[in-house]
């Protein structure tokens, strides 16, 4: 990869873009299958690349990746850090509620377990999208997000850069997050949910706290 340029155009949804050579000249087509770096390409970044030609003799990047500081910054996208902070804060809150005896361990375990399943589902769907294989239905992903899996979905979206730019998907995703958190809050504090809390043994740890401590 002895050529240098700038990835001036990139369509992440379609998985291709164009590199403008550093020394000028014709733009070079670049496809996601030729990307050799981490994460996903972003436009207006310096890259190094090799030159090849397609079946019609048109220039294309054989392999390309970020160069210099852009290469270092591409290892972990900023969105990953934000998602990690949100997920960590959420699970820390659940752990605190469990420690204080306000919920059984089954609730944090449910969020953790379903999140892990959904993280794998996003990974699988991303690979299917790249290969042109059968995709996971969006309604199925949203269902798992609603059923406690949204922390895993949030991380997967940023780690794999998947579903982040589809506005309609993001709208439904955040509705699922809001609905899930609202249901959890209602279950924990609403007077109307007292009988349900008793059925689910949500107050069980209060009676066991003296034995634990």
Can you give the residue ranges of every domain in the chain? 3-73, 78-212
Highest mean pLDDT among 39-48, 92-101, 176-185: 176-185
* DSSP structural state of residue 202: T
Q: How far is CA 144 from CA 22, 105, 158, 200, in A?
A: 46, 20, 17, 21
**Distance from chain centroid for Cα 143:** 16
Q: How far apart are CA 38 and CA 154, in angstroms?
A: 19
17-26, 109-118, 128-137: which has the highest mean pLDDT? 109-118
Question: What's the number of CA atoms in the CB half-sphere (13 Å) around residue 194?
Answer: 2
Instruction: To the nearest 10°, report the CA torsion of 183, 84, 38, 30.
Output: 50
Q: What was the pLDDT predicted at 212?
A: 38
Query: Can you point out the beta strands (E) in the chain?
Result: 3-11, 16-21, 28-31, 45-53, 59-66
Each residue's pLDDT tens digit, 149-202: 999 999 999 888 889 888 999 999 999 999 999 999 888 888 888 888 777 766
Q: Which of 27-31, 86-90, 182-186 has the highest mean pLDDT?
A: 86-90
Q: How many CB atoms lie within 10 A of CB 155?
A: 20
Q: Report the alpha-carbon distance of residue 87 to residue 65 in Å, rounded.
A: 30
Site of tokens 């550093």 = 22
Q: Alpha-carbon distance 54 to 144, whole Å?
A: 42
Q: Could you tell me the fold of the domain covering 3-73?
A: OB fold (Dihydrolipoamide Acetyltransferase, E2P) (2.40.50)
CA separation for the pair 134, 74 (Å, rounded): 29
């Amino acid at each position: 990869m002895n050529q240098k340029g700038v990835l001036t155009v990139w369509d992440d949804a379609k998985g291709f873009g164009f590199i403008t050579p550093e020394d000028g000249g014709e733009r070079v087509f670049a496809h996601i299958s030729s990307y050799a770096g981490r994460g996903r390409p972003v436009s207006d970044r310096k890259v190094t690349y090799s030159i090849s030609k397609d079946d019609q003799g048109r220039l294309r990047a054989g392999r390309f990746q970020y160069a210099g500081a852009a290469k270092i910054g591409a290892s972990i996208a900023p969105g990953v850090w934000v998602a990690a902070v949100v997920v960590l804060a959420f699970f820390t809150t659940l752990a605190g509620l469990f420690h204080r005896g306000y919920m059984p361990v089954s609730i944090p375990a449910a969020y953790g377990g379903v999140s892990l399943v959904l993280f794998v589902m996003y990974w699988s769907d991303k690979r299917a999208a790249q290969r042109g294989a059968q995709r996971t239905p969006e309604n199925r992903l949203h269902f798992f997000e609603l059923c406690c899996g949204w922390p895993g979905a949030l991380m997967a979206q940023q780690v794999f850069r998947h579903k982040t730019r589809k506005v309609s998907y993001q709208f439904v995703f955040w509705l699922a997050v809001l609905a899930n958190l609202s249901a959890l809050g209602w279950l924990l504090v609403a007077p109307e949910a007292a009988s349900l809390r008793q059925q689910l043994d949500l107050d069980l740890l209060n009676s066991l706290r003296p034995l634990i401590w």
